[in-house]
Every structure is written in C-alpha cells, then in structure tokens.
Structure 1
Amino acid sequence: MARTREFDTEAAVGRAMDLFWTRGYEATSVRDLTRELGIGQGSLYAAFGGKEGLYQAALTHYRTTLAAAALRTLEEGTDARSVIRSLLVERVRIAVEGGGRGCLAVNAACERLPESPEVRRAVRDMQDASRDALAEVLRAARERGEIEPRHEPRTLAAYLVTFLNGLLVSAKVTPDARALEPLVEVALVALG
C-alpha cells in the first residue's frame, strides 16, 4: 500500500522558493532542501522527482504568487505612468531585500541558461506575461493620449521588461533602493 504524503507540498514549495531565491540553484543542495523543508530525501523525490522538479515547482509558485501580484498592480491603476512607476519601484524594493537577492526569474535565467530548456520556458512565460500586461496598459494609455501615439505599445512594453531585467540584476550588485529608484524615472521618459 502506498504511503500518504505527510507534508504540505504547497508550503514546502514556498520554502524551497525562498531558499532557491536566496542561494540559487547550484548552491542549494538536496540536503539543504530536505533540512529546510523538514522532509526526507525520499519524500522530496517522491513529491517532486528531485531537485530540478522542486526548482520548477518553485518557479511556478513564484509566477503564481509574486509575479502575478505585480501584474495585478497594472490592472488597478488608471494613469499608466503612475502604475508602471509603482510596479518598477516595488520590484526594486523586493529585489534589494535580503542583501540583494534580486528576482527569482532573472536569477534563474542568469544561472541556468542556456543549459535548461525548462527554465528558459518558465522565464520566457513570465516575461511574456509581463510584456503583454504592460502592452495592454500602454495601448489604453495611448488611446487616452497619455503617451505619444508614435510609440508602439508592444515594443515599449518589451523595452520596459528588458529595463526591469537589468534593474533587477543591478539590485543584486547594488542592493540599495534609493540608488536604483531614480533609474525608473529615466526609463519612464521613454513614455514621452
């Protein structure tokens, strides 16, 4: 008879996400994970298929929690410039926490690509969702006359995602929100 799982997998994935986010994939051992999650190695493999499976689950958890929350802020605002500023500044604030842990998705891209097609797909999906959400905000802003009509919303959104990726890497190097937030104002100049 199969044993029933004796731990909360969702809570375990959340703790694993924090560990991977702080340490990175390579620097996090299976032993670190089992200790942090309070489970045995057999349970980790049975539930997630191993470290890589748990990492993929952590990336998915990141997307459905923190990344999704960031995209919801775009839906809540009416003034495109203000809502985009808030999104970027909040992402900087989160990235500088813990001495500059950055962004889990950007960290994954920097650490695991090009070797992992699964990580590429997960990160690309997150970036595509961000670009699409920003493009919709910018399209509506262009219709309201908030941004220059010469700007193509999808291209401008792709620029903002690229800028944000660089900003999140910079947050690891310089984990100081006061030093990074003025850069957001420079990026917003592109809105016209």
Structure 2
Amino acid sequence: MARPREFDRDEALEKAINVFWAQGFAATTTDDLRDAMGIGRQSFYNTFGDKRQVYLEALRAYQRRSTSAQLARLTSPDSPIAGLRDLLVGLVPEDDARRGLGCMGIGSVIEFGSSDAELVEMRDKVGPVLGGGLIERIRDGQARGEIDASLDPAETAAYIQVSMSGLQTAARAGAGASELQQIANFTVDRLRAR
C-alpha cells in the first residue's frame, strides 16, 4: 500500500519556482529543490519526475501568473496610455531583493536562448497573448487620440515587449527602482500623440 504524500504539492511547486527564479536551471541542484520544497528524494521523483520536469512546470506556472498580472495592469485603467504605463511600471518592484530577481521567463531566455525547443514553444504560446493585448490597447489609444496615430500597432507592441525585457534584465543586473521607473515612463511618453 502506497503512503499518502505528506506535503502540499502546490506549496512545494511554489517553492521550486522561487529557487529556479533566483538561481536559474543550471545552478539549481535536485537537492536545492528538495530542501526548499521540504520533501524527500522518493517523493520528489514520484511526484514531479526529474529536475527538468519541475523546471518546466514551474516556468509554466510562473508564465501564467505573470502574463495574467501584466494583462490586468494593461487593461485595468480606462485610459490606454495609463494601462501601458501601469504595465511597464508594474514590472519594477520597490523591494530591492524582489526586483533583483528580474523575470524568470527572461532568465530562461538568457540561460537557454533558442537551444531548447520545448522552452521556445512555451515562449511562442505566451508572447502572442500579451502582444495581442498590447495591439488592442494601442489601437484603442490611437482611436481616442492618446497614442500617436502614425505608429504601427504591431511594431509598437513589439517595441513595448522588448522594453519589458530590457527593464527586467536591468533589474536583474541591479538597476534601482527609480531609474527603471523613469525608463518605463520615458518609453510610454514616446508613444503619446503630439
């Protein structure tokens, strides 16, 4: 008779997210994960498989959560330009330690590039979701006269996504909150109708 698990799977996964987010895939050992998750070796393998499977599950969960939060910031204000500002400024936590983590998704891109087909496929599913929301919000801003009508919405959305990556990479490199917030505001101000 199999013994029931003596841990909360979701809680353990959350702890794995934090370890991978802070250390990346290569620098994280299975023992690092097990220690953080508070589970034994056999429970780890029986429940999660191996380190890579935990990483993929953790990254998927992180991406779902961060994309949902980003879309909420983008669409919550009535004003499209305010939504774009909220999106970018929202990437900059005031807490130094949290800000220094950057973005787990960007971390995976930096660590793996395009060499891992499964990770590329995951990114290819997430990117267009946010990109589509950005395009819609940009078009709305142009229709309202808030955003420069001469800008191509798809190109502008791509520019914003690259800016997001830059902000999160700079945060990981140690940039301060006020500096990053100024960059976020500068980015959005370039989109305004003149």
Scaled by the length of structure 1, the TM-score of the pair is 0.91
Measured after TM superposition, the shift of residue 89 of structure 1 is: 1.0
Q: Give secondary structure in 2 for the equivalent of 1:39.
A: coil
Q: Which residue of 2 aligns with 1:172?
A: 172
**CA 1:4 to 1:94, structure 2 compared with 1: closer, same or farther past 3 Å?**
farther
**CA 1:97 to 1:126, structure 2 compared with 1: closer, same or farther past 3 Å?**
farther
Q: Distance in 1 between matches of 2:111 and 2:152?
A: 32
Q: Which residue of 2 aligns with 1:101?
A: 101
Q: Distance in 2 between matches of 1:90 and 1:153?
A: 21
Measured after TM superposition, the shift of residue 37 of structure 1 is: 0.5
> Alpha-carbon deviations, 1:34-83, whole Å to 9, x = none?
01111112222222221111111111111222331221122211111111
Measured after TM superposition, the shift of residue 128 of structure 1 is: 2.1
Q: Which residue of 1 aligns with 2:130?
A: 130
Alignment of 1:126-165 (within 5 A): 126-165=126-165
Contact 2:131 2:157 in 1 (8 A): yes
Residue type of the partner of 1:55?
Y
Alignment of 1:38-53 (within 5 A): 38-53=38-53
Q: Which residue of 2 aligns with 1:24?
A: 24
Q: Which residue of 2 aligns with 1:57?
A: 57
Q: Which residue of 2 aligns with 1:34?
A: 34
Select between 149-158 and 23-32 the one with higher mean Cα deviation: 149-158
Select between 92-101 and 43-52 the one with higher mean Cα deviation: 92-101
Which ranges in structure 2 are unaligned for 5 or more consecutive residues?
none
Which ranges in structure 1 are unaligned for 5 or more consecutive residues?
none
Q: Distance in 2 between matches of 1:97 and 1:153?
A: 35
Indicate the percent of aligned positions where both proteins have the same amino acid: 30
Contact 2:21 2:103 in 1 (8 A): yes
Q: Give secondary structure in 2 for the equivalent of 1:107.
A: helix
| Higher percent of residues as helix | 1
Note if 1:66 corresponds to 2:66.
yes
Q: Distance in 1 between matches of 2:150 and 2:63?
A: 32
Measured after TM superposition, the shift of residue 98 of structure 1 is: 3.6
Q: Which residue of 2 aligns with 1:87?
A: 87
Scaled by the length of structure 2, the TM-score of the pair is 0.90
Q: Distance in 2 between matches of 1:61 and 1:99?
A: 19
Q: Distance in 1 between matches of 2:57 and 2:134?
A: 25
